[in-house]
Structure 1
Amino acid sequence: MAQRLRLKRISVSLRVFNILVAGWLASFTNIGFYQHLSSFSSFSGLTQYSFIFVTFLILSGFYFFILQILSWQHSAKVLATVLIILTGFSSYFVNQLGVNINTDQIQNVVQTDVHEAVDLLSIPFLLWLIKTIVLPLALLCYLKIEPTKNIKHLFLDKLISLMVALFIIGLGLFSFYSQYAPIFRENRELKAQISPLNILSSSWSYAHKNVKTQNLPLISYGEDAHQISYAIQQPAKIMVLVVGETARAQNFSLNGYPKMTNPELSQLDIVNFSQASSCGTQTSVSVPCMFSGMPRKNYDQALAAHREGLLDIAQRAGYQVTWIDNNSGCKGTCERIKNYISPKDQSAYQKWCSNGECQDEVLLAALNDYLKSMDLKKLKQNQLIVLHQMGSHGPAYYKRYPHDFKKFLPACETNNIQNCDHNSLINTYDNTILYTDHIVASAIHVLQQTGVPTGLIYLSDHGESTGESGLYLHGTPYFMAPKEQTHVPFLFWTSQQWPEHQKIQHCLSLQKDHAVSQDNLFPTLLGLLDIQTKVLNPQLNLLAQCRGSI
C-alpha cells in the first residue's frame, strides 16, 4: 500500500512547482482584494472580468518572480509551506471580517494575550484554515520536485522564467495602467488586502520600527510639573479615569440612540460630550496617544514609546497613580508608575472570571478594595486611579456581560459575527454598552460614598464596526475609517465636594456638543488635578474657559 501511495506522487520541475504555488497565493484567497479593486474601477461586464483576470496574472507573476529567486531544490517546499500558512490566516480576516493587515494590526497581534486570541477562534475560521492551509499542504506532499542535474540549465531556466514573469507583469500593468495608477494612488490601503504580501510587508515594517526604537533612553517630559499652591492646602482628591474598550458613541442613548443603553448614567449629573473622536482605531495606538500629550495629527508612536506621559507627570506632581487592568495591559503607558493591579490574576476576584477572562465588575471589586485600604478620613495624598475595561471587545461580544444584562434580544452568541444577522449582532453589542453603563455608574456611586472630593472621566479608546459597509471589528486606517470606529463616548463627573464643582460642571456643559477628541484628555485631566506644567496646551484644555489657562 505504501508503495502504491509513493507511485501516485507527481513529479514536477521547480519552475512548475513555483507556478502552482504562485497561482494559489494569488487565487480566491485574495477575493476581497479583487472585489474592492473591481469596485474602484470604471469597468463593467466582460471588461471588468478581464481587468480582474489580468490583475490575477500580475499578482501570480509577482509571486512567481519572488519564488523563482528564493526557491531551490531543498527550500522550495519549506518556503511554500510558510507562505501558504500566512496566506490562510491573513486572508480570513481580510475576506471575512474586512480587516486590513497593516503595521498596526501586527502590533495588535504582538500585544494581545492568549484569551483575546482564543476569542477569534470559531468553526468557520477553522474551516477556512482547513480549506486554505491543510488541503493545499496535503496536496503539496504529493508533489515531488524533480532534481536538477545540470546547474547551468537550472540558472538558465530561472533567468528565462524571470524575464517571462516580468514581461507578463509589465504587459498587464501597461494594459490597464489608466485604471491601476489612480486606484492605487488614491486607495493605498488596498495593499493591506493582498495576502500574504500584507502580513510579510507589515511584519517587516513593525520589526524595523521596533529595532529603531529599542533601548532608546527615556525622555523626561513635564519635569516642571507641580500642583498649584492653593490646591496643596485643599483636602486630598480621588480622580478615576475609566479607559473604555471598543465602545462607540452612536450606541449610547446619552447621544440620542433609540435603545436605552444608558439607564444608569442618564440618572446622574454628568457632562456627556456627544461629538468626541479618538486618536486611533485600535488600542495599541489610541491608549498611548491619549496619555502622550501629543495631538493626533502630530502623534509620533515611536517617541511616545520612550517618553514620559500623563501618568508620569501626575506622579511627579505628587499624585499616587494606580492602574487597575482588566484588559491586555496598558500598552506601555503605566510602565513607570508604582501601582499596577491586575485583579484577574488574583484568586480573590475569580468569582467574576472564567477561563482567564473577567467581566468588568472585577474592576469595581478591585476599586472598592483599594479604596478600603486607605484611611479616607485622613487621606493625605491625592489619588489618580485608572480602570482599564474589557468593555465591548470583539468579536466575542456575548462574553462581555453577565446574563442579567442580556436585555436586547435576539443576541449573537458566537464569535463568528459575520454570519449573524445584523439585528442580533447589534443587540449583542448593545448589551455590552448596557453593561459598561452599569460599570461606570457603579464606579461613580462608589466614589460618592467616600465622603472626599472625587471625580470620574470615562473615555473609550476607539469604536467598532459591526458589519456596516462590510467592515467588522476595528483597526481600519484612520484616514479611511468609518465614524463607527472613531466616534467615541466621553463623559465627566465630579462630586459636590470637588473644588469649583458647580463652575466646572456649568462650563463643561456649555461645550458638551462641541467637537472634542482624545487630544483634550491630557491637558484637561491635568488641569482638573490642579497640576501645572509648561507642556500643557491651554487651547486643548476644556477647563481653560472655567478658570483661565491652567
Structure 2
Amino acid sequence: MLSIVTRVRDKIKPISLSQFNFVLAIWLGLVLNIAFFQKIQNLTPYQGPKAYLFLTATVLVIIAAYNLIFQLLQWTWNAKIFAYILLFIGGFTAYFVNSLGVVISPEQIQNMMQTDAREVGDLLSLRFVLWTLAFVLFPILCVSLIRIKRETLARKVTKKLLTGAGSLLLVGGLLFVFYVDFAAIFREHRDLKGMISPQNAISATLSYYRKSAPKKNLPLIHYGEDAHLVQQVKENAKPKLMLLVVGETARAESFSLNGYGKNTNPELSKLNVINFNQVSSCGTATAVSVPCMFSGMPRKDYDEQLASHREGLLDIAQRAGYKVTWIDNNSGCKGTCNRVEQYQIPQQLKDKWCDKSGDCHDEILVDSLKTYLAAIPESDKTPRLIVLHQMGSHGPAYYQRSTTAFQPFKPSCDTNAIQGCSRTELLNSYDNSIVYTDHVLSSLIQVLKGNSAYQTGFWYLSDHGESTGEHGLYLHGSPYAIAPTQQTHIPMLMWFSPEWAEQNSAQITCLAAQKSKELSQDNLFPSLLSLLDVKTQVADEQNNMLQQCETKKKA
C-alpha cells in the first residue's frame, strides 16, 4: 500500500510553496464555507448581477485573507503540518455549520469540552461519516501526496512578498469598495464570523480558554453562610420534600400547556399544576444554564469562573438543614452538586431502562425516586431537596428519547442525521420526546402524591430549548444575543400536595398569580429557598417570586 502511495506521489508534478498556500486557501475559504456564503447572499441588499458581484467579492476577500495569512506563517518545513491541522479542524467545524446551522462560538467549545462519549455517539451518522471521508480525510490525503518544490530562500521570500502584497491589496480594495455593505451586515449579524471555518473554531477556542475555561485549584468560596430555616419542623408536623426536576432541551413552544397545537401534555393537563408560560433560560446550553441557575447570579451578571468555585443553591439548602440529593440521567451536574449526595442508581434499574451504549430512558428517574424514598426510615424527619436531571429531549437522536408507548406522532425521524429528515418527521420525533417527558413528570407527581411522610412540592424547568430547523438552525448553543426563542423560551411548572397547600396556601395563590408573568431561571435561586423556608441575605429578593406578593401587600 505504501509503495502505491509513493508511486502516485512521484507522478504528481511538484508545486511551489506559494501555489500550495493558494490552493489550500481556496479549499478552506470557498469549499468549506458554502453555508456562510449562502447566508451572505440572503443578507445582501442587492438583486440580480450586483448581488452576485457582492457575493463574488466576499468569496475573494475570504480566500485572499487566508492566502495572506498562509504566506506569512507557512514555510516549506511547516506548511503540511499546518495544512493537516487546518483541514482537520475546518472539515469538522464545516460539517456542523453547513449541515446543522451551528454557529461555532466559545459556548459551543465549552459544550464540546464538557460532553461525554454518549453525547458524541449521538452525533455519529452515515452523513457524518461520508462528510468526514470527503471533506476531512480526502483533502488530507491529497496534501500528503503533493510535493512542494525546493526553491532558494530569496525566490521563496520574493514570491511570498508578491503574493502576500497582492492578497492584501485585494482584501483592502474590496473592503473599501463594499465597506458600507460589509459593515452593515456584520454589525447586525455578529454571529457570522462563527460560520467561517476554520477560523471560527480557532477564535472560539482561544476566547474560551481566555475567558471561560475553569481555572484549576481555585479555593472554594463559601456563600450564604447565614442560611437557616425560618421555622423548624414541628414534632407532629410533616417535613417538606421538594422535588426539583431539571429538564433537558425542552422548549416552551412545544408544550400544549402553552398553546401548542399538538397534544404533547396529555397527562400533565389533567393534573393541578401551575404552568408558567413566559420563562427564559440563562443560557442556550447545559454547561451554562445549569451552573447559572444554581449560582445565585442573574443571567446579566453571571460569572462562570466565580460560579465554578463558589457555593450555590444546593450548598445553602444543605447548610440550612435540608438533606440534598442529586439523581442524574444526563451528563452530570456541571459542578453544582459536588458537595451534596449524588445518588447512585441501582444496577437493576440500569438493566431495566438503559441500552448497551449507556443511554437510559427517563423513567429510570421515576423508579430511582421510588427506591430512594422507600429507603428513608420512618423516624427520619429531615426535610429534603431532591434534584433529578433528565435526559429529556437531548438531540439529535430525538427518536431515542421516548419509548414506543409514547410516540403518537408519525411519521418520525428515526435517525440522528436530522438534517436529512422532512420538517414533519423531525418535529414529530421531537414532539414525541416531549410527550414522554410529560409522562415522566406526571409519574413523578404521582409518586409524590402517594407519599404520606412529607408535605411534597414539585418544580420542573428545562435548562434551555432547541432549534429544529427554524431559520436554518438545529440543536442549541447559539450565542444568547442572537439565539432564537426556540432555544431560550423554556417550560416551567409546579405542583404541590394538599398538605403543602394547606400549610402554605398563600404561597400557592401567589405563584398561581404569576403564571403569565415574564420570569426566568434567575427566579429559581431565591424562590426555591423561600419555598423551603430558608433565609439568607445572599438571596436576591427582587427575583423571589414569593416576595412579589409580600411587596404588593405592603404597597
Q: TM-score range by the shorter chain?
A: over 0.9
1:268-279 map, 5 Å: 268-279=271-282
Match of 2:158 among 148, 156, 159: 156
Q: Which amino acid aligns with 1:111?
A: Q
Number of the residue aligned with 1:207? 209
Number of the residue aligned with 1:491? 493
Question: Structure 1, residues 244-275: CA drift from partner, whole Å, max 9, x if none?
Answer: 00001111111122222111111111111011
Q: Secondary structure at the match of 1:324?
A: strand
Number of the residue aligned with 2:386? 385
Q: Are the structure 2 counterparts of residues 120 and 68 from structure 1 closer, same or farther at C-alpha, using a change threshold of 3 Å?
A: same
Q: Is the Cα contact below 8 Å between 2:459 and 2:493 reproduced in 1? A: yes
Query: 1: distance between equivalents of 2:150 and 2:358?
Result: 51
Query: 2: distance between equivalents of 1:156 and 1:232?
Result: 87
Question: Structure 1, residues 114-168: CA drift from partner, whole Å, max 9, x if none?
Answer: 11111111111212222211221222233101123x2233233323332222112
Q: Which amino acid aligns with 2:537?
A: K
Deviation at 1:6, TM superposition (A): 4.1
User: Is 1:321 matched up with 2:324?
Assistant: yes
Question: Structure 1, residues 443-491: CA drift from partner, whole Å, max 9, x if none?
Answer: 1111122202111100001111111121111112112211111111101
Question: Structure 1, residues 485-510: CA drift from partner, whole Å, max 9, x if none?
Answer: 11111011111122634332222111
Query: 1: distance between equivalents of 2:16 and 2:295?
Result: 56
1:194-273 map, 5 Å: 194-209=196-211, 213-231=215-233, 234-273=237-276
Number of the residue aligned with 2:21? 18
Match of 2:473 among 471, 474, 477: 471
| C-alpha RMSD of matched pairs (Å) | 1.8
User: Is 1:539 matched up with 2:542?
Assistant: yes
Q: Is the Cα contact below 8 Å between 1:275 and 1:515 reproduced in 2? A: yes
- Segments of 5+ residues of structure 2 without an aligned counterpart are none
Query: 2: distance between equivalents of 1:22 and 1:347?
Result: 55
Query: 1: distance between equivalents of 2:342 and 2:115?
Result: 18
Q: Secondary structure at the match of 2:478?
A: coil
Q: Is the Cα contact below 8 Å between 1:326 and 1:342 reproduced in 2? A: no
Q: Which amino acid aligns with 1:326?
A: N
Q: Which amino acid aligns with 1:469?
A: H
Question: Structure 1, residues 161-218: CA drift from partner, whole Å, max 9, x if none?
Answer: 3222211211121121111112112211110010001001111111223567333222
Matched-pair identity in %: 51
1:77-88 map, 5 Å: 77-88=80-91
Q: Is the Cα contact below 8 Å between 2:215 and 2:305 reproduced in 1? A: yes
User: Is 1:411 matched up with 2:425?
Assistant: no
Query: 2: distance between equivalents of 1:373 and 1:493?
Result: 24
Q: Is the Cα contact below 8 Å between 1:364 and 1:443 reproduced in 2? A: yes
Q: Secondary structure at the match of 2:388?
A: strand
Q: Which amino acid aligns with 1:467?
A: G
Q: Is the Cα contact below 8 Å between 1:494 and 1:501 reproduced in 2? A: no
Q: Are the structure 2 counterparts of residues 342 and 158 from structure 1 closer, same or farther at C-alpha, using a change threshold of 3 Å?
A: farther
Query: 1: distance between equivalents of 2:49 and 2:31?
Result: 19
Number of the residue aligned with 2:78? 75
Query: 2: distance between equivalents of 1:189 and 1:203?
Result: 15
Q: Which amino acid aligns with 1:193?
A: M
Number of the residue aligned with 1:508? 511
- Paired residues, what number? 545
User: Is 1:444 matched up with 2:445?
Assistant: yes
Q: Is the Cα contact below 8 Å between 1:106 and 1:202 reproduced in 2? A: yes
Deviation at 1:4, TM superposition (A): 4.9
Deviates further, 391-400 or 71-80: 71-80
Q: Which amino acid aligns with 1:527?
A: S
Q: Secondary structure at the match of 2:372?
A: helix
Number of the residue aligned with 2:373? 371
Q: Is the Cα contact below 8 Å between 1:401 and 1:435 reproduced in 2? A: yes
Query: 2: distance between equivalents of 1:229 and 1:387?
Result: 26
Q: Are the structure 2 counterparts of residues 6 and 253 from structure 1 closer, same or farther at C-alpha, using a change threshold of 3 Å?
A: closer
Number of the residue aligned with 2:49? 46
Deviation at 1:347, TM superposition (A): 5.2
In the superposition, the TM-score normalised over structure 2's length comes to 0.95
Query: 2: distance between equivalents of 1:255 and 1:57?
Result: 48
1:353-368 map, 5 Å: 353-354=354-355, 355-368=357-370
Q: Is the Cα contact below 8 Å between 1:29 and 1:91 reproduced in 2? A: yes
User: Is 1:520 matched up with 2:523?
Assistant: yes
Q: Which amino acid aligns with 1:436?
A: T
Q: Is the Cα contact below 8 Å between 1:189 and 1:477 reproduced in 2? A: yes
Number of the residue aligned with 1:35? 38
Q: Secondary structure at the match of 1:463?
A: coil
- Segments of 5+ residues of structure 1 without an aligned counterpart are none
Q: Is the Cα contact below 8 Å between 2:246 and 2:462 reproduced in 1? A: yes
Deviates further, 380-389 or 31-40: 31-40
User: Is 1:421 matched up with 2:422?
Assistant: yes
In the superposition, the TM-score normalised over structure 1's length comes to 0.95
